[in-house]
Amino acid sequence: MDVSSLLLADTPEGCRLKLRVRAGARRDQIVGALGGALKVSVSAPPERGRANQAVLELLAKAAGIPPARLRLIAGAAYPDKSVLIEGLSSEDLRRRLAAER
């Protein structure tokens, strides 16, 4: 997957990633980069945090890290979200996502 256009930000805690999420999709998948954000589809409904949890689990699996190292930092109730991936640099994340698929 081409992730060269993702806008990633390194922080002291790890890497910040912007997402564009489609909840209630047919299947869980990382679609690709869209306008600097990572486009993600999850089948979970957008209610009671189910879609957010599904997004974090999908990203953790793609990055090869435990879901506990991902934290939703903005956009809990919106399609545009920001996630903090603790202990991972932007280059490490970019490399892991590029190897996905």
Q: Is the pLDDT reported for residue 19 higher than 70?
A: yes
* Other beta carbons less than 10 A from residue 13's beta carbon: 14
Which domains does the chain possess? Answer: 8-96 (3.30.1200.10)
Instruction: Specify the residue for token string 């002291």.
Output: 12
Put residue 36 in one of left, alpha, beta given phi > 0 → left and psi -120 to 50 → alpha: left
pLDDT of 3 = 86
Token output for 18:
């912007």
pTM (2 d.p.): 0.92
Contact 81, 21 (CB under 8 A): yes
Note the pLDDT tens digit of each residue in 48-89.
999 999 999 999 999 999 999 999 999 999 999 999 999 999
pLDDT of 101 = 56
